[in-house]
Amino acid sequence: MSDEIFDKMSAQMKPSDELLARLDAALAAESADAASAAAPSDVVSGESPLQAASGSTRPAVSRPTGAPKRKRRVWLPIASGVSALAVVVAGSFMIGPMLQQGAMESSAPQENAPAATQFPMDSTEAVATSAPPEVEPVASPTITASGPYAEVLGKIANMPSMSEYLNPAYSSAREQANTAPMPASAPEVATDTGVLEAGSYTGYTGTNTQVVGIDEGDIVKTDGKAIYVASGKQIKIVDPVGAATQVVATINTTDLLADADPAAGLISSQVLEMMVDDGKLIVFVTEYQPRTVEVGSENTTYVPYDATQTKAVIYDVSTPASPKYLASLGQSGAYSTTRLSEGVLYVVTSYSIDDPASIDPEDPSTFVPLTSDDDRKKLTPIGPDRISICPGEEIPVYTVATAIDVNSQKRLGEASVLGSPNNVYMSDANLYIASYRYHDVYTGVDTATQKEVDWDSLPKLGFKVENGTQLVRIRLNGGDLQVAAQGLVAGSLVDQFAMDEYDGYLRVATTIGGATGDSSNFTWKSQPALFVLDGDLKTVGSIEKLVSDESIQSVRFNGAVGYVVTFQQVDPLFAINLGNPKDPKVMDKLKVPGYSTYMHPWTDGKLLGLGYNADTNGNVSGMKLSMYDAANPYDLRELQTEKVKFDDSEALQDHRAVFVDPESGIVAFPAYSWSYTETTTNMSAVYLVYKYDDEAGFTQLGSFELPVANLSYVSTRAFRIESSFYVANRVEVDVFDYESLAEQHTVKLD
């Protein structure tokens, strides 16, 4: 194949006539404005010049006549491809004497490590948690920039020129009495979402989460009493009663949100995700506001709407058929992710200062994140003692985390970090924010921003490391969030599963990129590694090289054991012993074709893998399910593997799309395939249900057609509630008998 392919693709990438017409209309409007304002010289009239030009050929200037002809590039088949599943074991019965208790129990950390003693704490942290605000409450929300916010303002105003990390200077107490944290009291009622009850088909299964007992927001949620489906700006509340399943109520978020105030020009997003807890439904919506000030720099340009705040809108759904609005709590930024633990909701947003021209040094509300209670009436800048600075961030973007008590609908606390939330993981005691960093090892010349990252602190690996991850630990402290530590590790994370806290230590699996040689003889390196960090996020133990020239595809920690799948050509599964945090060791390594993108602990020491299938040459074709025997991590075995003849699945990117019920032997997920002709593209999507049995292996029990809209798959989730199986998306809810998978009912939602 020659580079003819680029010409072919190039020819297809053209603006549509409709788009050209839209631009034409916008330009005409601009010109009309200008004309009415002052000089009427440039008024557009008559036939659209854009429309007339739309059939013209590619501009001749795109290939300069004097330019040398470039070389032909060809496509060659890749040599081969297999991946590795590594088990990183952080202690197990195999190394029993090293472990205190329950190492294999993923729920063990909760008992083992209470928040207060989980990590060593420095003295400032201890003071911060115990002392009430020391400063007199300030009535006015105006805080001068020369005051406590001077540093963060300096950072943002001069982005990218941050040089310090973690608020050493921000020691003053919180200034806003009305946002002072509530006394941190443990909520009385804990959610049972996600817990499968013993016995046959009673209770329900919730969202498939990373940590048992910590719920994650999603587009479809259930509390066993109702199924809540996000459908545009509405939430459909479905009464899940088998064949009689029906929609019992619809919540219209537009009734309450900014759309009600068109004068302000605000518009709100669709329902992004939801959480449900103890008769309360929390709905997350981001509001956007048109930009009123044009950006100053020549190389930036006008973007019509900026994300201003994300709202947690709380409804009483104790009677699902009659939901009642309770409260709305907002915070700056676009929705990132949420967690729910022990009745406390943690909301993470990403807030970028899109419009530098709007910064007023005298008004912190123009450059620090805000929180609001009940609509926009009370906007409060986050206190300077709750804002930290993460080195090396290229753009002025904050991670904003707040904690809300669901029962009282009161905000318990908030914390913010100047840095992007590229990956977020929450344990029982801490929220971890991972922010990606990169520098150019080819030139060896770092920008001022890149120099802020302490690259020299990374281990010497025999090659120049080009990527790193800045980690921030925010202590939950019952909702009184406090940034507690920061640290840097080499490499980047594949997803949130690459982080896991156990027994007071954070384990992080990364793929380190870099290069050897100089510009005349340059060889790229890619090296999976594993680090164990203490409470100060300092590395105390590591495996700097799991394998050479591969990259991590998936990670799962299960108590003291860690599993890592890497891939270049074969899929090795590594078992790593993390029983001694200071000396993690690879226990075993298994090479199989293809690679898993998601792993889930099964029963009896088995491990389920879901991912891409490949032949021994590494040519990927479709998907596969695998079951590994990891009961003896020193002797990993692949027990069964089943090809799934579909191209791709949401489940390979998002763990929440996987339904796993090891007790029943069921694993289920959506999947889709493309088909092509010369001129058309078609998509088919299905929901697949498999049963695993030690003797029979994987058996496909069902394959149910899913809706396809505009050649797009519709995100789908599934739950078991009592003896029925519900497959839900914004278009419909399909009900099946969980045992026989016989279809019982279909409810259309739109």
Partner 1 sequence: MSVTACEIESGARMDGDTHAVVARYKDMVYRIALTHTRYAGDADDVFQDVFLAYHRKQPELNGEEHLKAWLITTTVNCARRVSMNSWRTKVIPMRPEDMEQPEVFHFNSEVQDELFTALGKLPEAYKTVLHLFYFEDLSVNMIAAMLELEAGTVKMRLSRGRGLMRTQMSEGGYFDER
Footprint of partner 1 on 540-599 (CB under 8 A): 551, 568
Nearest distance from C-beta of residue 436 to partner 1, angstroms? 9
For 4, list phi and psi in degrees, rounded to 5. -55, -30
Nearest distance from C-beta of residue 263 to partner 1, angstroms? 17
Of 32, 35, 44, 159, the one binding partner 1 by CB under 8 A: 44
Tell whether residue 681 is a contact of partner 1 (CB under 8 A): yes
Residue closer to partner 1 (CB basis): 306 or 661:
306
d(CA 467, CA 5): 32
For 250, list phi and psi in degrees, rounded to 5. -130, 130
Tell whether residue 13 is a contact of partner 1 (CB under 8 A): yes
505-544 residues near partner 1, rule: CB under 8 A: 519, 522, 524
Nearest distance from C-beta of residue 615 to partner 1, angstroms? 10
d(CA 47, CA 523): 56
Nearest distance from C-beta of residue 466 to partner 1, angstroms? 9
d(CA 434, CA 349): 13
468-487 residues near partner 1, rule: CB under 8 A: none
Of 47, 136, 456, 678, the one binding partner 1 by CB under 8 A: 678
381-400 residues near partner 1, rule: CB under 8 A: 395, 397
Of 134, 301, 377, 748, the one binding partner 1 by CB under 8 A: 301
279-298 residues near partner 1, rule: CB under 8 A: 286, 288, 294, 298
Tokens (6 digits) for 172: 């003053």
Of 270, 365, 407, 408, the one binding partner 1 by CB under 8 A: 270
Candidate ranges 402-410, 540-548, 596-604, 672-680; the one touching partner 1 (CB under 8 A): 672-680
Tell whether residue 748 is a contact of partner 1 (CB under 8 A): no
d(CA 614, CA 494): 20
Tell whether residue 39 is a contact of partner 1 (CB under 8 A): no
Nearest distance from C-beta of residue 187 to partner 1, angstroms? 28
Residue closer to partner 1 (CB basis): 234 or 427:
234
Residue closer to partner 1 (CB basis): 567 or 628:
567
Tell whether residue 67 is a contact of partner 1 (CB under 8 A): yes
The CA-to-CA distance between both ends of the chain, in Å, stands at 45
Distances (CA, A) of 4 to 71, 77, 78: 12, 17, 19
d(CA 386, CA 388): 7
Of 39, 45, 47, 63, the one binding partner 1 by CB under 8 A: 63
Q: Which residue from 7, 138, 121, 109 is spatially nearest to 62, judged by alpha carbons?
A: 7
d(CA 429, CA 118): 7
Strand partners, 103: none
How many chain residues interact with partner 1 (CB under 8 A)? Answer: 95
Of 714, 718, 733, 735, the one binding partner 1 by CB under 8 A: 714
Q: CA 385, 381, 308: angle at the middle one, nearest 5?
A: 130
Of 17, 255, 440, 583, the one binding partner 1 by CB under 8 A: 440
Q: How far is CA 44 from the centre of its chain?
A: 46
72-101 residues near partner 1, rule: CB under 8 A: 72-78, 81
310-339 residues near partner 1, rule: CB under 8 A: 334-336
| Residue 361 exposed, middle or buried by CB count within 10 Å (0-12, 13-18, 19+) | middle
Q: Tally Cβ neighbours within 10 Å of residue 115.
A: 16
Candidate ranges 155-163, 183-191, 262-270, 557-565; the one touching partner 1 (CB under 8 A): 262-270
97-116 residues near partner 1, rule: CB under 8 A: none
Tell whether residue 731 is a contact of partner 1 (CB under 8 A): no
Residue closer to partner 1 (CB basis): 46 or 199:
46
Nearest distance from C-beta of residue 389 to partner 1, angstroms? 19
Candidate ranges 59-67, 190-198, 380-388, 501-509; the one touching partner 1 (CB under 8 A): 59-67
Q: How far is CA 397 from the centre of its chain?
A: 16
Of 45, 130, 140, 443, the one binding partner 1 by CB under 8 A: 443
Q: Which residue from 483, 487, 498, 493 is spatially nearest to 453, judged by alpha carbons?
A: 487
Q: Which residue from 341, 184, 232 is spatially nearest to 278, judged by alpha carbons?
A: 341
Contacts of 549 (CB under 8 A, 6+ apart): 525, 526, 527, 568
| Residue 105 exposed, middle or buried by CB count within 10 Å (0-12, 13-18, 19+) | middle
Strand partners, 370: 381
Candidate ranges 148-156, 198-206, 424-432, 673-681; the one touching partner 1 (CB under 8 A): 673-681
609-648 residues near partner 1, rule: CB under 8 A: 612, 617-620
Of 36, 41, 45, 62, the one binding partner 1 by CB under 8 A: 62
Residue closer to partner 1 (CB basis): 6 or 325:
6
225-244 residues near partner 1, rule: CB under 8 A: 232
Of 352, 358, 641, 664, the one binding partner 1 by CB under 8 A: 352
d(CA 465, CA 454): 12
Nearest distance from C-beta of residue 53 to partner 1, angstroms? 4
Of 46, 66, 199, 262, the one binding partner 1 by CB under 8 A: 66
Tokens (6 digits) for 75: 């496509």
Nearest distance from C-beta of residue 729 to partner 1, angstroms? 11
Tell whether residue 299 is a contact of partner 1 (CB under 8 A): yes
The helix/strand/coil state of 457 is helix
Residue closer to partner 1 (CB basis): 70 or 377:
70
Tell whether residue 21 is a contact of partner 1 (CB under 8 A): no
Q: Tally Cβ neighbours within 10 Å of residue 407.
A: 16
d(CA 567, CA 592): 10
Residue closer to partner 1 (CB basis): 367 or 436:
436
Sheet (strand 227-231) strand order: 220-222, 227-231, 234-239, 246-252
Sign of CA dihedral 117, 121, 123, 129: negative
Of 65, 101, 123, 140, the one binding partner 1 by CB under 8 A: 65
Tell whether residue 10 is a contact of partner 1 (CB under 8 A): yes
Contacts of 505 (CB under 8 A, 6+ apart): 532, 533, 534, 540, 581
Q: Tally Cβ neighbours within 10 Å of residue 6.
A: 10
Helices (H), 90-212: 108-112, 115-118, 123-130, 150-157
Nearest distance from C-beta of residue 720 to partner 1, angstroms? 27
